[in-house]
Amino acid sequence: MLSVHQAVEHMLTTIKPITESNPISIAQAVDFVLSAPVQSAVDVPSYNNSAMDGFAFRGKDLATSKQLRCIGKSLAGHPFTGVVGAGECIRIMTGAQVPESVDTVAPQENTSEIEADLIQINSPTAVGANVRLLGEELQIGAVVYEAGHRLTPVDIGMLASLGIAEVAVYRPLKVAVFSTGDELVLPGENKQAFQLYDSNRFALHAMLERMGFDVLNLGLVADDPALIEATFRDAASKADAIVCSGGVSVGDADYTKAVIEKVGQVGFWQVAMKPGKPFAFGQIDNTWFFGLPGNPVSATVTLLQLATPALRKLSGEGYNAPLTIAAVAGEPLRKRPGRADFQRGILRFEDGENRVYSAGPQGSGMLSSMVQGNCLIRLSVEQGNVAIGDSVEVELLQNPIK
């Protein structure tokens, strides 16, 4: 059985990213993946400007006198056009251009007006203080983003600040989603005692959409090999990837893997993790297949830990391992060696340290643990029981889950 690391490595080396790319307006570009690097076409800032509201002058003049004659002003968008001479200053506002003739700004609160237009500088002010210099943040030609970067809201602001109105991005990935299971009914329908609601498809759909993918929801499919085969063929003709839940275990009604073997190839099956052992990765024509286990926690955790890195690679995005932090177990945690655990935990900052507690019963069908929890406690394959006070690795649950 592959380890989580081996499974992810296998998928990342097998999958080649899509290459189709289009220009897009930055206003529409959040969550899209850059298909080309972005270089700055301007210096940032593009002119020397003041970091404070105050007075601008020649810094060396303070050695002669702390009192300066105010001869004009520079406002944001309305620069001072004259020359500031020895013993003179101008009133200046934050962001306003600092004229060539001066190099220093004293903040308003460190000054007093002795008489009309005679300003006294009350605190020592180093030459060059409070001036933001041309190009100090970015210079023309600087690579601001590499290709493969998924754009966040802050990135959109950065692109706008560089005067960039359009960027080249990969087309969004189309991901088909369906669930299998004769026991499932739709929320809102009448349910008999032996049935349960199809929840996976709703959670998976929402998570994939938050990851920036176009989701094609193919509904709920019965445990019938012919229907599952028809759904796979349909999905493969329309989507870059298929994410389905259920039917990848070893039960009598688990047909998903057998159908993939018939219509495509299975790359690997089963991963040494808990929850989520029955996970299948494969291919139908040019469409990648991620078969998630049916239990709701297993489905969410395998989407996050296994399918997501692969989908992100496919979408043209670079792979970033999840950010994890160290925490101290606030209570004992049960763990058997043999599989890597992703236990749902509640992380709190207490008494100056990160402490993590169990989010409750850890059954792979108990979605409440994901609702209560704010993190996954990542316990290695070899790890046994965790004692109170032991250090553990924690991954915060955030977007796209929370």
Choose between 215 and 333: whose C-beta lies nearer to ligand AMP. Answer: 215
Residue 301 CB, shortest distance to ligand AMP, in Å, is: 13
Is 246 a binding residue for Mg ion by CB under 5 A? The answer is yes
Give the Å distances, CA to CA, from 312 to 19, 280, 304, 318, 400. Answer: 13, 18, 11, 7, 13
**Which 350-379 residues touch ligand AMP, going by CB under 6 A?**
365
How many residues touch ligand AMP (CB under 6 A)? 19
Cβ count within 10 A of residue 141:
9
Q: Which two tokens stand for residue 28?
A: 């529409």
Cβ count within 10 A of residue 245:
30
Query: How far is residue 306's CA from residue 340's CA, in Å, rounded to a whole number?
Result: 13
Contacting range for Mg ion; rule: CB under 5 A; set: 39-47, 100-108, 232-240, 288-296: 288-296
Among 105, 119, 131, 184, binds ligand AMP (CB under 6 A): 184
Is 71 in contact with 52 (CB distance < 8 Å)? Answer: no
Residue 181 CB, shortest distance to Mg ion, in Å, is: 4
Choose between 88 and 198: whose C-beta lies nearer to Mg ion. Answer: 198
Give the Å distances, CA to CA, from 73 to 58, 113, 224. Answer: 15, 15, 79
Contacts of 275 (CB under 8 A, 6+ apart): 293, 295, 297, 298, 301, 302, 342, 364
Residue facing ligand AMP at closest CB distance = 294
Is 49 a binding residue for ligand AMP by CB under 6 A? The answer is no
Is 11 in contact with 291 (CB distance < 8 Å)? Answer: no
Find the radius of gyration of the CA atoms of the chain: 30
Is 294 a binding residue for ligand AMP by CB under 6 A? The answer is yes
Among all chains, which residue has been given the structure tokens 């955790």?
Answer: 301
Give burial (CB, 10 Å; 0-12/13-18/19+) of 25: exposed
Choose between 283 and 364: whose C-beta lies nearer to ligand AMP. Answer: 364
Q: Which two tokens stand for residue 70?
A: 């105010």
- The sign one gets for the Cα dihedral 146, 150, 154, 159 is positive
Choose between 12 and 185: whose C-beta lies nearer to ligand AMP. Answer: 185
Phi and psi at residue 77, to the nearest 5°: 85, -10
Residue 238 belongs to what H/E stretch?
helix 225-238
Choose between 130 and 295: whose C-beta lies nearer to ligand AMP. Answer: 295
Give the Å distances, CA to CA, from 132 to 76, 138, 237. Answer: 14, 12, 55
Among 264, 276, 296, 330, binds ligand AMP (CB under 6 A): 296
Contacting range for ligand AMP; rule: CB under 6 A; set: 43-51, 80-88, 92-100, 293-301: 293-301
Choose between 184 and 218: whose C-beta lies nearer to ligand AMP. Answer: 184
Report the partner that residue 315 touches, choosing among Mg ion, ligand AMP, none (CB closer than 5 to 8 A by kind): none
Binding mask 213-252 for ligand AMP (x = CB under 6 A): --------------------------------xxx-x-x-
Among 39, 161, 199, 372, binds ligand AMP (CB under 6 A): 199
Is 291 a binding residue for ligand AMP by CB under 6 A? The answer is no
Among 54, 172, 181, 267, binds Mg ion (CB under 5 A): 181
Query: How far is residue 377's CA from residue 367's CA, in Å, rounded to a whole number?
Result: 16
Among all chains, which residue has been given the structure tokens 């969004």?
Answer: 172
Residue 249 CB, shortest distance to Mg ion, in Å, is: 7
Contacting range for ligand AMP; rule: CB under 6 A; set: 96-104, 195-203, 314-322, 380-388: 195-203
60 DSSP assignment: G
Report the partner that residue 400 touches, choosing among ligand AMP, Mg ion, none (CB closer than 5 to 8 A by kind): none
Choose between 264 and 276: whose C-beta lies nearer to ligand AMP. Answer: 276
Query: How far is residue 184's CA from residue 198's CA, in Å, rounded to a whole number?
Result: 5
Choose between 104 and 245: whose C-beta lies nearer to ligand AMP. Answer: 245
- Residues contributing to the site for ligand AMP (CB under 6 A): 179, 181, 184, 196, 198-201, 245-247, 249, 251, 254, 293-296, 365
- Residues contributing to the site for Mg ion (CB under 5 A): 181, 246-247, 294
